[in-house]
Structure 1
Amino acid sequence: MDSNIYQILLEYINIVFLLFTGLLFIFFTLMGYLSARNSIHYRHKNSFGDISRIMGSPLAPSITIIAPAYNEGLTIVENIRSLLSLQYVNYEVMVVNDGSKDDTLQKMIDAYNLVRAERKTDPDLKCKPIRGVYKSTLSSFSKLTVIDKENGGKSDALNAGIFLSESKYVGCIDVDCLLMPDALLHVVKSFSQRSKKRVIAVGGVIRIANSCKITGGTLEAIRLPKNWLARFQLLEYTRSFLLGRMAWGRIDSLLIISGAFGFFDREIALSVGGYDTETVGEDMEIVFRMRRYMHERKLPYTIEYMPDPLCWTEVPEDLGIFINQRDRWARGNLETLYRHKDMFFNPKFGRLGMLSYPYWFFYEWLAPLLEFLGFFCVLLFIYLGILNTEFFIAITAMVYGFAIMFSFYAVLWEVWSYNQYTRTRDILLLLLCAIIEPISFHPLVVWSAVRGNYKKLFKIKSGWGSQVRKGFAKA
């Protein structure tokens, strides 16, 4: 009798795994198709029209680029120089020094001839106290504003910038990011090209700058990262941004805009209270609230997503820093999903409630936990002698093969669309990364997610963790 029960139970487990795997294959195949359709549509839509005309137009909307800085003395001067060289007429660069303990503020003062400016600030602003506002005495740096405030974290620093800005749009970026000179032209075009729906946010692809040659804030040569951990992240970013988020953008169901490159309608961002300072997943959480705000008021809106290589950033090359980063992302996911749990399969929120939220719940949050649990289940089944070895090997090989094919597709789609890595050797190295990623890099991602969820569920206090910058390569 016991043997029959085991057999029936195992058959059910096999069927569930087979159905789940089949659904994943269908879902990711559909994602690849939708992302391709969206990329082709975007390229066709932007193949005509001269965006440079926006730059000199007196009607160009105002934009404030907000860049929080905490202990960024190593690269702050060069990063600001890059932001000040963008091709746009009506923008402000607002660097928020979030109580840095190093020489970040002093380096900015020395490099850009900053002096305290008479600018009234509301003492009741929902951010940590502001210690001073600085402007340059040189007209060539008139676009630069530096806010010095007490430390409150990235979200608090971004809120200070949003509250003090007077522009129509605000761009929230990481200060170490390198924006392409025409980035704001593309952003403004994305905000302006809709007539029936209000564009409340614009996001884009994040590219990996590790090992690239950058001089004077200008990207001179694109190189594949020398560090293997950075290479795996490049592959992951290509797959996630160029395929995943492009697909969600195609059906207007995108729920996250990267904190490294996100632009918002300031009016709507203020209406929802800015960033939530109680979560470490602030970039995802604010998009949830902005979408809810528009949905609940039945206002027509959309979020635009651009695949252009407009933003380049440095990713962790140290394993400990990388795990801390992914640990933080997992905690942010769980916090945001819990706060907006009423959206789960709620038809009131349309595709967001019926499709986007369930995807984030089952795939982005639950899947790593199931993978981790599944590993121990396999060991247990082996110990009990009840593992269906043939089925296990077959389904593992099938999943492994599909994962490789999907990564190959992402790499080849990148080559076809923007072709940032032109050397054959670089493409072959990325394809090699795709082959070994499932058994080397992916387990690290799963472990980081499990650790982050464990910390959050058992209320183990953990903040952002240290982020050590190496600085961009200059030669």
Structure 2
Amino acid sequence: MDSEVLNIFLDYLNIVFLVFTIVLFTGYAVMCYLATRNSLHYKHKNSFGDLSKVMASPLAPSITIIAPAYNEGLTIVDNIRSLMSLRYVDYEVMVVNDGSKDDTLQKMIDAYDLVQIEQEIDPDWKSKPIRGIYKSKHRSFSKLTVIDKENGGKSDALNTGMHLSTNRYVGCIDVDCLLLPDALLHVVKSFYQRSEKRVIAVGGVIRVANSCIIEGGQLEEIKLPKNWLAKFQLLEYTRSFLLGRMAWGRIDSLLIISGAFGFFDREIALAVGGYDTNTVGEDMEIIFKMRRYMHDERLPYTIEYIPDPLCWTEVPEDLKILVNQRDRWTRGNLETLQKHKAMFFNPKYGRLGMMSYPYWFFYEWLAPLLEFTGLLCILLFTYLGIINWEFFLAITAAVWTCSIMVSFYAVLWEVYSYNQYKRKDVLLLLVFAIIEPLVYHPIVTWSAVRGNYKKLFKIKSGWGSQVRKGFAKAS
């Protein structure tokens, strides 16, 4: 009897794995289709526009770029130089020094000849105390404003900048990011190309800048990262931004805009209270919050997504730092899902409640836990001698092949769309796509499991640190 029950259980488990595999294949196929349609639509739509008209228009809206800085002394001068060289008629660069313990503030003061100014600050605004506001003596740096405040975290710094800004739109970026000169022109065009809906936010692709040649705050040469971890992240970013987020953007159901490149309608962002300072996933949480606000107010709106590679950033090259980063992303994801659980399968929120939220719940949060549990089951079944090796190897090969095909498609679509890497680099990326499920994916899965463990047992853990090496320069 026991043997019969065990066989029934194993047959049931095999069916579950088979259904999961079919759903996975179908989901990836639909994602690739939607992303391709959206990419082609974007390229066709923007082939008729002239960005220079946006630059020259006296009606071009004002934008504030808010860049929090914490211990960024190694790269802060070059980072600001890059932001100050953007092609746009009316914008402000606001760097918020979030209580840095190194020479970040002093380097900015010396490089841009800053002096402290007087400015009224709302005493009721909830943020860490502001120690000083600085502007340059030179007209050539008139776009630059530096806020020096006590340390309160990235969300607190962004909220401070959002509050002190007076412009219609705000861009919240990581200070170490490099924006291409035309980035703001693309952003403004995205805000104004809709007439029937209010565009409340604009996000975009993040590219990996490790090993690229940066001179004077400008991207001079695009290179494949030399570090093996950075190569895997480049592959992951290509797949995630060029396929995943483009697909969700196609059906107007995007629930996250990367903190490295996010632009917002300041009025709506302030209406929802800005960033949540009690989560480490603030970039995701504010999008949930803004979407819920617009739905609850019954206001027509949308969020635009730009597939052009306008933003380049440095990714972790150290294994410990990478694990801490993905651990933090998992905790932020879980915190946001818990806070907005009222959206879960709630038809009131349309596709967001019926598709987007369930996707984040089952795939982004639950899938790594199921993978880890499945691995433990495989080890247990192997020990007990009850594993069906033929079925296990067939399912594993199918999932592995599907993963490789999606990665191949992402890389080849990037070549078709932008073709920014040399042929040998593309071939190397394809090789990394083959070994990714065995080498890199287990690291990401373990990081997610660790993040869930910390959250479940309330182990205190904050943002962690990201050690910057700085961008490569021409020799």
Please give the per-residue CA displacement for 1:408-454, whole angstroms capped at 9, x wherever unaligned. Answer: 00000000001111x21101110011000000000000000000110
TM-score by length of 2: 0.99
Equivalent residue number for residue 56 of structure 1 = 56
Contact 1:97 1:149 in 2 (8 A): yes
Corresponding letter in the other structure for 1:155: S
Mapping of residues 272-283 of structure 1, within 5 Å: 272-283=272-283
SS at match of 1:273: coil
- Give the match for residue 98 of structure 1: 98
What is the match of residue 445 of structure 1? 444
Q: Tell me, in whole angstroms, the C-alpha distance in 2 between the residues paired with 1:453 and 1:232.
A: 23
| Mapped partners of 2:21, 2:279: distance in 1 | 33
Give SS of 1:280's match: coil
Shift of 1:56: 2.2
Q: 2:284 and 2:413 mapped to 1: Cα distance?
A: 26
Query: C-alpha distance in 1, partners of 2:146/2:189?
Result: 27
Q: Offset of 1:119 from its aligned partner?
A: 1.1
| Cα deviation 1:343-389 (Å, max 9, x = unaligned) | 11110110000000000000000000000111010011112221111
Indicate the residue corresponding to 1:349 in structure 2: 349
Give the fraction of aligned pairs with identical amino acids, expressed as a percent: 79
2:461 match: 462
Tell me how far 1:25 sits from its aligned partner: 0.5
In structure 2, distance between residues paired with 1:49 and 1:331: 41
Are 1:284 and 1:336, in contact at CA under 8 Å, matched by a contact in 2?
Answer: yes
Task: Give the partner amino acid of 1:358.
Answer: P
d(CA) in 2 for partners of 1:52 and 1:360? Answer: 39
Residue 121 (str. 1) matches residue 121 (str. 2): yes
For residues 250-302 of structure 1, give each alpha carbon's deviation from its aligned partner in whole angstroms, at most 9, with x where no partner exists.
Answer: 00000000000000000000000000000000000000000000001110000
Alpha-carbon RMSD: 0.5
CA–CA distance in structure 1, aligned partners of residues 95 and 318 of structure 2 = 27
Matched, 1:68 2:78: no
Instruction: Name the structure 1 match of 2:361.
Output: 361
Alpha-carbon shift at residue 237 of structure 1 (Å):
0.1
Once the two structures are TM-superposed, the CA of residue 125 in structure 1 deviates from its matched residue by 1.2
Task: Note the 1:364-375 alignment, pairs <5 A.
Answer: 364-375=364-375
Aligned mates of 2:352, 2:66 — CA distance in 1: 28
Q: State the partner residue of 1:191.
A: 191
**Which aligned segments of 4 or more residues in structure 1 are displaced greater than 3 angstroms?**
none
Instruction: Determine whether 1:471 maps to 2:470.
Output: yes
Please state whether the residue corresponding to 1:6 is helix, strand or coil.
helix
TM-score of the superposed pair, with normalisation by structure 1: 0.99
Shift of 1:149: 0.4
Provide structure 1 residue ranges, at least 5 long, that are not aligned to the other structure.
none
> Contact (CA 8 Å) 1:123, 1:129: kept in 2 or not?
no
Question: Is residue 214–residue 474 contact of structure 1 (8 Å, CA) maintained in 2?
Answer: yes
**Residue by residue, what CA displacement relative to the aligned partner does 1:205-247 show, whole Å, maximum 9, x if unpaired?**
0000000000000000000000010000000000000000000
Could you tell me how far 1:117 is from its partner in structure 2? 1.1
1:402 aligns with 2:394: no
1:146 aligns with 2:146: yes
For 2:373 and 2:19, locate their aligned partners in 1 and report how far apart those are by CA, in whole Å: 18
How far off its partner does 1:12 sit? 0.7
> SS state of the match for residue 73, structure 1?
coil
Structure 2 counterpart of 1:291, one-letter code: R
Cross-structure match for 2:428: 429
**Amino acid across the alignment from 2:382:** I
* DSSP-derived class of the 1:219 partner: strand
Local SS of the residue matching 2:71: coil
Q: Aligned pair count?
A: 474
SS in 1 for 2:302: strand
